[in-house]
């Protein structure tokens, strides 16, 4: 087991996992403001060109307080639903700082976004037509599918022939024809190849492919290369970080050359979600019951897949830490155990046959790197209450930034 652990990195500030659970209940999403700000800064400095903009992809986590911090770090944001836009506006984002990347938007949704004065990216020829009908003469962006995707799982690859996203690059004449029909100005091209890459190559190749599509458009204001930047989910085993510096300098060189050739001022954007928020959170839970079925030790926690869906949905790995009496259980004695949640399905497993310390009932478990697609994908399945979210401020003190659901919340939508 590696030396890396959250207590020694100061993640919990001036408190401990036990104190947090005692005060705010369990399960509990705990965020660290300093880590979040650090990731924003890294991304902001990715590309050295004057018009580089990072648009945080808020689908990864749209907690209002976190959005405020991310905005204060100078990041703009991309939204994919009116609900996300609503939360962003409530968090202080201005319409011109939001980019709506639509997928199969309804007319009502499109109208809402246009009325809010937010720039839209359309995802198909028919959506371009819909946009033209609703906002003739408007400015619009087009999401291009330049052919190849990347990602940690089939379900999160978002470019290439097998996916539903983007307009194929060979439909440029049709895009231009619709734009002309409705007097639209195509001001930007965007793409998103998929989620979680750890090597720069695929992203760089994707950027080059998008730039060669962009050459075929005049008067673009921006080209947006998308998100997908991975984080090391296996830190305990020494997994290396994505080499962001190498990626950034390669991308900087490419965009500088390309701009010179394009011959006019143009901005470049990225849309990271996971990279900004994933490592800023640990999800705490409680070990409620331990049992042995056959040869398997089952460690039963209160973290069901309604709270964290990633392991069940994508077989995703999250490093685990267990705490007792204010410190992390050390790893001298290890055994295999299967860590489960409390949902009524046998697939409700956080980690199968994982090598862990000798865990006892009452221990606290910490599930690492859960800031992205953690709370954002939580639900009330089994009528369980979605957890509270707490932020460790830069001075080390904890602050509740979203309360736990109450039983009354379960009744909220009935007459």
CB proximity list for 412: less than 8 A, separation 6 or greater: none
If one asks whether residue 200 binds ligand LLP (CB under 6 A), the answer comes out as no
Closest to 367 measured CA to CA, from 332, 402, 322, 330: 322
Which of 193, 337 has the CB closer to ligand LLP? 193
Q: How far is the CB of 122 from ligand LLP (least distance, A)?
A: 12
Whether the CB-CB separation of 184 and 15 falls below 8 Å is answered with no
Which of 165, 258 has the CB closer to ligand LLP? 165
Q: How far is the CB of 33 from ligand LLP (least distance, A)?
A: 20
- Segment interacting with ligand LLP (CB under 6 A) among 5-13, 189-197, 289-297, 338-346: 189-197
DSSP symbols for 307-369: T--HHHHH-----EEEEETTEEPPSSSEEEEEEE-SSSSTT-EEEEEEEEE---TT-EEEEES
Other C-beta atoms within 10 Å of 34: how many? 15
d(CA 244, CA 234): 18
Which of 182, 317 has the CB closer to ligand LLP? 317
If one asks whether residue 196 binds ligand LLP (CB under 6 A), the answer comes out as yes
Catalytic site includes residue 49? no
Which of 13, 27, 188, 227 is the binder for ligand LLP (CB under 6 A)? 227
- 271 labeled part of a ligand binding site: yes
Q: How far is the CB of 325 from ligand LLP (least distance, A)?
A: 33
Which of 21, 146 has the CB closer to ligand LLP? 146
Q: How far is the CB of 413 from ligand LLP (least distance, A)?
A: 25
Interface map 138-167 toward ligand LLP (x if CB under 6 A): ------------------x-x---------
Tokens found for residue 244: 């962001």
- 272 labeled part of a ligand binding site: yes
d(CA 38, CA 378): 26
- 234 labeled part of a ligand binding site: no
- 404 labeled part of a ligand binding site: no
Q: How far is the CB of 161 from ligand LLP (least distance, A)?
A: 18
If one asks whether residue 101 binds ligand LLP (CB under 6 A), the answer comes out as yes
DSSP symbols for 201-237: HHHHHHHHHHHHHHTTSSS--EEE----B---S-GGG
Which of 146, 196 has the CB closer to ligand LLP? 196
Helix%, strand%, coil% for the chain, nearest 5: 35, 25, 40
Which of 59, 384 has the CB closer to ligand LLP? 59
Place of tokens 């080059």: 208
Calculate the dihedral angle through the C-alpha atoms of 143, 274, 351, 390, rounding to the nearest 10 degrees: -130
* Contacts (CB under 6 A) with ligand LLP, residues 268-307: 271-275
If one asks whether residue 57 binds ligand LLP (CB under 6 A), the answer comes out as yes
Which of 313, 400 has the CB closer to ligand LLP? 313
- Spell out the alpha helix ranges (H) of 45-81: 64-72
Q: How far is the CB of 400 from ligand LLP (least distance, A)?
A: 25
d(CA 291, CA 44): 48
Q: How far is the CB of 373 from ligand LLP (least distance, A)?
A: 3
Tokens found for residue 189: 């091209």
Which of 93, 100, 222, 229 is the binder for ligand LLP (CB under 6 A)? 229
Q: Please work out the total of residues on this chain that contact ligand LLP, with binding judged by CB under 6 A.
A: 23
If one asks whether residue 226 binds ligand LLP (CB under 6 A), the answer comes out as yes
- Segment interacting with ligand LLP (CB under 6 A) among 54-62, 175-183, 240-248, 286-294: 54-62
Whether the CB-CB separation of 24 and 285 falls below 8 Å is answered with no
If one asks whether residue 228 binds ligand LLP (CB under 6 A), the answer comes out as yes
Whether the CB-CB separation of 135 and 226 falls below 8 Å is answered with no
Sign of CA dihedral 14, 17, 22, 24: positive
If one asks whether residue 310 binds ligand LLP (CB under 6 A), the answer comes out as yes
Closest to 242 measured CA to CA, from 208, 275, 279: 275
Triad 350, 351, 352: Cα angle to 5°: 130
Residues that bind ligand LLP (CB under 6 A): 57, 59-60, 78, 101, 156, 158, 192, 195-196, 226-229, 271-275, 310, 314, 372-373
Q: Return binding residues for pyridoxal 5'-phosphate.
A: 228, 271-274, 373
Q: Which residues are catalytic?
A: 344
């Amino acid at each position: 087991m590696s030396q890396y652990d959250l207590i020694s990195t100061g993640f919990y500030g001036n408190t401990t996992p036990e104190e947090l659970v005692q005060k705010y209940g369990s399960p509990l999403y705990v965020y660290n403001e300093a880590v979040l700000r650090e990731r924003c800064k890294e991304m902001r400095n990715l590309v050295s060109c004057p018009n580089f903009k990072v648009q945080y992809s808020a689908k990864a986590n749209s907690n209002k307080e976190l959005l405020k911090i991310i905005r204060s770090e100078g990041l703009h944001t991309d939204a994919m639903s009116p609900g996300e836009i609503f939360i962003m506006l409530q968090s202080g984002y201005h319409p011109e700082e939001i980019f709506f990347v639509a997928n199969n938007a309804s007319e009502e949704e499109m109208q809402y976004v246009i009325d809010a004065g937010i720039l839209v990216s359309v995802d198909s020829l028919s959506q371009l037509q819909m946009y033209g009908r609703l906002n003739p003469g408007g400015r619009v962006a087009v999401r291009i599918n330049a052919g190849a995707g990347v990602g940690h799982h089939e379900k999160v690859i978002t470019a290439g022939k097998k996916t539903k996203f983007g307009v194929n690059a060979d439909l440029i004449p049709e895009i231009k024809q619709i734009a002309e029909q409705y007097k639209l100005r195509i001001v930007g091209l965007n793409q998103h190849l998929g989620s979680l890459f750890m090597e720069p190559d695929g992203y760089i190749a994707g950027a080059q492919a998008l730039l060669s599509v962009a050459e075929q458009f005049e008067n673009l204001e921006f080209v947006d290369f998308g998100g997908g930047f991975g984080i090391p989910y296996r830190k305990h085993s020494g997994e290396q970080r994505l080499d962001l510096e190498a990626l950034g300098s390669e991308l900087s060189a490419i965009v500088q050359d390309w701009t010179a050739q394009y011959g006019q001022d143009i901005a470049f954007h990225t849309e990271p979600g996971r990279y900004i928020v994933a490592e800023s959170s640990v999800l705490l839970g409680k070990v409620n019951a331990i049992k042995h079925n056959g040869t398997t030790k089952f460690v039963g926690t209160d973290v069901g897949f309604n709270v964290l869906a990633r392991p069940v949905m994508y077989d995703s790995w999250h490093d685990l830490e267990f705490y007792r009496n204010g410190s992390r259980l050390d790893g001298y004695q290890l055994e295999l155990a299967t860590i489960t949640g409390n949902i009524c399905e046998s697939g409700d497993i956080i980690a199968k046959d994982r090598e862990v310390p000798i865990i006892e009932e009452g221990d606290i478990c910490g599930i690492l790197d859960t800031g992205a697609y953690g709370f954002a994908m939580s639900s009330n399945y089994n009528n369980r209450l979605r957890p509270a979210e707490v932020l460790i401020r830069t001075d080390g003190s904890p602050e509740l930034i979203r309360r736990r659901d109450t039983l009354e919340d379960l009744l909220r939508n009935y007459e």
